[in-house]
Structure formats: structure tokens, C-alpha cells
Chains A and B, each alone.
Chain A
Amino acid sequence: MEFFERFAVPHPSPAIYASMVAIVLVSIAIVVGITYFKKWGYLWREWLTTVDHKKIGIMYLISALLMLFRGGADAIMMRAQLAKPENTLLDAQHYNEIFTTHGVVMIIFMAMPFIFAFMNIVVPLQIGARDVAFPRLNAISFWLFFAGAMLFNISFVVGGSPDAGWTSYFPLAGTDFSQSVGTNYYMIAIQISGIGSLMTGINMITTILNMRAPGMTLMKMPMFTCSSFISCIIILFAFPVLTIALIMCTTDRLFATNFFTSTDGGMDMLWANLFWIWGHPEVYILILPAFGIYSEVISTFSQRNLYGYKSMVGSMVIISLLSFFVWTHHFFTMGQGALTNSIFSITTMAIAVPTGVKIFNWLLTMYKGKIRFTVPMLYAVGFIPLFTVGGVTGVMLAMSAADYQYHNTMFLVAHFHNTIIPGVVFAMLAGLTYYWPKMFGFMLNERIGKWGFWFLTIGFCLAFFPMYITGLDGQARRMYTYSESTGFGPLNMLSFIGAGLMAIAFIIIVYNVLYSIKNSPRNVGDEPWNARSLEWATHNPVPEYNFARTPHVASSEAFWDAKKKGHELFKGEIEKIHMPNNSGVPFIMGIIFFICGFSFVFALWIPVVVSLIGIFACMTLRSFEKDDGRYISADEVKATEAKFGGAKS
């Protein structure tokens, strides 16, 4: 019995026990359901072993939506707790766990896979490739992310959630102050999915450099591909820092090393430093592909080419470089001198300049355009003013002297939600609606989608704008309650109402998906949006080989040229197509990584060693495996094309 005591939750509550029961019941229901409908074979063949970039993208998408709801549930609980003074809905420990998991889930397990979903689905199509450069590595990336996400999500029912904040600052995150295994979960789950992210970055860079269609030079790539490319370069340089910092932290917690301890030569501030050396580029990793999606959406629905392509690319390159030069602005109050703070204030303000260039480019793209207010365009149009507010408050926070007033208040919380929600979440929802026909061959309902947009936007403004005021009045973040005399009560109630509206918006979005699956017409054709870039030059949904013949490209808007200027996109005969084989190894490696991570969290060394051997065995197996892929014959391609209503010309 003693052995199992370590898995108990150290600070339980009825809600946690209810979640345990719910998790068990849902798992049983899923297993029974799949068995009853005899879908195990289908699941294994079509999804678990797939190396197809579109299917991996869809799996990323589903995981991201699931995690959005998990993180959203955390958010609602926090807002409910703060809705009135001296509330007792949650106690301090639960509140700590909830804001920690909210942050980690939303950034690492919601925003990142959402970005990767679109990179996977859209980038190979936009550059006219059959798949990514390393299809099997891509599958491993996904399953590592998934293993990390699941490991993190079981923390609250097995062993206890991390509770040191999503930044997990030392000495709080050290073994002296965080005795439960929660912070081990944080370190190891993020480590596993971080390895996956790093591999995706490498994979996408290679894909974009080597697999572009003939004629597509680097400056003729569609904007989303360009932004993904730059974002992946940031991944490549930023994630190794996180990997190392997490290893140091893990050894501190499990093997009693002294990297981040306050005594014995350790330096607790080094963790904050390393965390933000990764953490600040990370927010640009998220926002640049989002900018790419807005660029696609805005130029499509304004029926104009993107204004200032070169300045867009240039500003993203500058952002990518500057994103590594600003990390200190996250801890201006840590005690370093005025010189350091001044340097990082200036670099931080400088980064607003290229971002501003992009805002003006989008506005000028819309100027004199024939704007159609579809759901994706609504999100894009809503993004511009809201994100600008977030950016301007960012410049306020960038002033290091003033930051002593703002630091760790609700003002900061309002600021970063004000950039991430309109910046990233709106972009993801815009992309979801925009690329839905590309993925599934039917449209999401526009009317319900617009309801979702308005609920989300109004809810967002109600939820976060009051925080600017309470923050300036001195409400600290991460405080689980406040007294009535502070006067924060009414504005926090308003925030709670806003959060409720946002929750309704997400329910509307899910309802929209279900409604559209049932009711949407299936014959949307290949071009539902009158779009411009290359991904729309193939069928909806995309056949597994993407393009029957390799496209020949002359500009960043190849499809528009083909439609309006008579550019010949596809030349020659349909030939046999070389495709990669499916493989079960990535999925198995994901499971082994999960077991390894779980054992690591609880310091069970025998399973750790066994599963590490398993991981290396999988890698060795792959080295000796001879896999030349397979061919889809020309006849098969022709038959598929005929089913879609004839080959594209």
C-alpha cells in the first residue's frame, strides 16, 4: 500500500474526485465505443500510424481544441473565484494549481499544437509539396507532443498538479517549497512535448527550403509559409535553451543538484533568466504564424494582393532577431541595475516598430478592397484594433521605471491576454473557419460562426478591459482572494461575466462544428472563398497526394494568377506519385515516452531505464529499416481526380 500512496493527490477536493470518476468513465466509454463500432482497425490504419501531414494536422487540431477547453475550464474557475471578494469557491492551493495549469496548457498544449496544426495542413499545400520533408519524424513530433500533453493533464488526479505558476520560478519551484510531484510533471511534460516542437521546427525548415514547387523562390512564398518558416527558425534557436533549463531543473529536483537553489552556489534567478530567453521568443513563435493566417485571410477577403510583401517579410525577420534581445523585460524588478533595464526597455520598444509596419500593411491591403465580412475576415478585422490596444499597453509595460508599478498586477495579465487572444486565438479560429473546407470538404455555418465571433469579442472586452483598471489600482495577479475594502469586486464580477460570454462563444463554435457536420452541403467545390494562394489549387478535401501534377509557380499568388491571368499552373501528364509508408513506431514511441515521463515524475528508476532502452531500440530499429516508400500509380491518380470532377488545369 505504501507504494501507491505516492500517487495520491496531496490536496484533494470533491471536484478532483469527481474528475477522477469522470476520466475513468470517459476512458471506458471511448474504449467500449470503439470496440462496439469495430473502429480499432480503422483508427490504427488511418490515424495512429499515419504519416500524412494533413491527418497529423487534424490530430493536432483536435488535441488543441480539447486543451482549449481544459484551459478554458481553468480560466472560468479562476474568474468565478475572483468574481466577488472573500470568495471561498476555491482555496489557495487549488487556485495556485489552476492558474499554473491554465498557463501551461494554454501556451504549450493549446497554442503550440494549434500553430502546428496549420503549419502541417497548410505549408506543404502552399509550397506545392507532397508531404513534409520527414513524414515519419512529423508523426513522432505529434505523438511526443500528445504524450507530453496527456502526462501533464493526468497530474491533477495522480500525484497533484504543479502549483508554482506557469513560469515555475525558483526557489518556489525547488524541492523546499514545492514538495509534491506537481513540478516534476511540469518539467517532464514540457520537456517531452518540447522535443516534439523542436523536431517540427527542423522538419518545417527543411520542407520549406527543399520542397518548394518549381518557380517558387523564397520571396514568392505565400505569407503563411513565410511566417511559419521564420517562426520555425525561432523555434530552432529558442527551444534548446528551454530543454537545457528543464534538464537542470529536473536534476535539481530529483538528484539534488544546485543549479537554481539559493544556497551552495546555485542561483535561483538563473532559472527566470533562462526561462525567458526561451519564453519571449516563444510568444513570437506563436504570433508570427498567426500573422501569416491574418495576411492570407485579409488579402483573400479584400480581393487585393497583400500590401507590402517585402516589408512584411522584412519586419518578420527583424522581429525574429529582436525577439531574442528583449527577455529581461519580464523581470525588470528582479534587482539588476538601471543600465540593463534601459537597454532592454529600448529593445522592447523597438520591437513595436516592425509590428506596427505589419498593422499598417494589413490596413492598406483592405484600403479600397472589396471586403467580404465572412467569419475569418471578422476575426481578422476584430484583431487589428484589439491587438493594437494590447501592443500599446505592451509599450507601457516596456518602460522599466513604470514597470515597477505594473509588475505582477492584473494590468500585466490584461496586457498579455490582450495580445494572445486577439493575436493567436482569433487567428486560430479564423484559420479554422478558413481552412475547414480544405480539411473536410464542407463549410462551417457562417451565421452561427458570426454569433460565435460577437460573443467571443464582447466577452473578451468585458473580461479583460476591467483588469487594466483593477491592475492600475493595485490588484495583484495570482492572488486567490481580496478584501471588499479594495473595491475590486464589481470590476471582477464584470470580468467573470465576460469570461462566461467567452465560454458561451466556444460552446457556439463547437455547436457550429456539429451543426455543419450534419447540415452543411457537401458540394462546396474546390474554391469556396475565391482565394489566391496555391493551397486552393487542389481539391477539397485534399487527396492524399495533394497535387496530381507538380504546380509551376510564378508569384506568391499562383492560384489567382491561374484564375485571372491565365497562368498555366499544371503542365505535363499525370505520372505515378511517390508517397511515404505509414508506420506504427511513432505512436509506440509516444507511449514509451509517456511511460518514461510518468516514471521519471515519480522517480521510479527501473521503468525509466526500461523505457529509455525501449526508446533507443525504436531508434535503432529505424536505422536498420529499409523503407523506400510506395507509389500511387498514374491510373489510380486519374481515377481519384475523376472522382473529384476532373483534373485541375
Chain B
Amino acid sequence: MKELYPAKQVGGFVFSLFLTVIALLVYFMDMSFTLAMTILVVTAFVQATLQLVVFMHAGETKDGGAIYLNVLYGIIIALVTIIGSLLILIWDM
């Protein structure tokens, strides 16, 4: 019976709803800009990871390592691009 019931997916679905609710709180509750943005960024990243792993099945095939390496490479380049741009145009201008 265990393999017939997709516990991981159902759990993931509930968890993703939970994350959405937390993100929605930013709209409904009165909080500082910094706190709101922190909550949004954190829930967004957790949500994206959840979707990738649970629903897009990353890591379930034999090229899982390559997929994670790719994602990591993408994240590094995205972070360097964004932090670099902020450094150039705002923090150090």
C-alpha cells in the first residue's frame, strides 16, 4: 500500500500551501518592509526548491547529480550578477 499512496507529493502539496499562506501574511499583516521582504525571499526560495524536488522530480533519475550541479551553477551566476550589479550601481557608486 505504501508505494500506492504518494506521501511525499501530498506532504509537499500541503507544505507548499503552508508557504503560500505565510507569504500571504505579508499582505494582510502590518510589518516592516525589511521583515516583509525577508519573509517573501525566504518563502520564495523554499517554495522553488520544493517544486523542483517534489513535483519536477529533480534527483530521482540517474542524472540527478548533474541537475543539481546545473541549478547550483545557475544560482551562483544569478547571485554574482545581482550582487555585482547592486555593488556597482548602488552600494559602491
Check A262 for interface membership: any CB of B closer than 8 A: no
Smallest CB–CB gap between B26 and chain A, Å? Answer: 24
State the CA gap A334–B92 with chains docked (Å). Answer: 11
**CB–CB B77/A337 < 8 A:** no
**CB–CB B81/A277 < 8 A:** yes
Question: Please, which residues of chain B bring their CB within 8 A of the CB of A267?
Answer: 89
Given A237-B74, A340-B87, answer yes or no on A324-B81 (Cβ-Cβ < 8 Å). Answer: yes
Check B80 for interface membership: any CB of A closer than 8 A: yes
State the CA gap A85–B81 with chains docked (Å). Answer: 43
Check A269 for interface membership: any CB of B closer than 8 A: yes
Nearest residue in B to A335 (C-beta to C-beta)? B93
**CB–CB B88/A325 < 8 A:** no
**CB–CB B92/A337 < 8 A:** yes
Chain B: interface secondary structure? helix
**CB–CB B88/A328 < 8 A:** yes
**CB–CB A241/B89 < 8 A:** no
Check A642 for interface membership: any CB of B closer than 8 A: no
Question: Which of B73, B74, B76, B84 has its CB near the most chain A CB atoms (within 10 A)?
Answer: B84
Question: Please, which residues of chain B bring their CB within 8 A of the CB of A334?
Answer: 88
Question: Please, which residues of chain A bring their CB within 8 A of the CB of B92?
Answer: 336-337, 339-340
Check A386 for interface membership: any CB of B closer than 8 A: no
Question: Please, which residues of chain B bring their CB within 8 A of the CB of A277?
Answer: 81, 84-85
Check A587 for interface membership: any CB of B closer than 8 A: no
Which B residues from 49 to 93 make CB contacts under 8 A with A? 73-74, 76-77, 80-81, 84-85, 87-89, 92-93
State the CA gap A267–B87 with chains docked (Å). Answer: 15
Check A273 for interface membership: any CB of B closer than 8 A: yes
Which of B80, B88, B89, B93 interacts with A324 by CB under 8 Å?
Answer: B80
State the CA gap A274–B85 with chains docked (Å). Answer: 8
**CB–CB B77/A237 < 8 A:** yes
Nearest residue in B to A269 (C-beta to C-beta)? B89
Which A residues from 244 to 290 make CB contacts under 8 A with B? 267, 269-270, 273-274, 277
State the CA gap A343–B93 with chains docked (Å). Answer: 14
Q: What does the 1/0 interface line of A430-461 toward B look like (CB < 8 Å)?
A: 00000000000000000000000000000000
Question: Please, which residues of chain A bring their CB within 8 A of the CB of B89?
Answer: 267, 269-270, 273, 336
**CB–CB A340/B88 < 8 A:** yes
Smallest CB–CB gap between B72 and chain A, Å? Answer: 11
Question: What are 30 A-B residue pairs whose CB atoms fall within 8 Å in the complex?
Answer: A237-B73, A237-B74, A237-B77, A241-B81, A267-B89, A269-B88, A269-B89, A270-B89, A273-B88, A273-B89, A274-B85, A277-B81, A321-B73, A321-B76, A324-B77, A324-B80, A324-B81, A325-B80, A328-B88, A335-B93, A336-B88, A336-B89, A336-B92, A336-B93, A337-B92, A339-B87, A339-B92, A340-B87, A340-B92, A343-B87
Q: Which residues of A contact B (CB under 8 A)?
A: 233, 237, 241, 267, 269-270, 273-274, 277, 321, 324-325, 327-328, 334-337, 339-340, 343
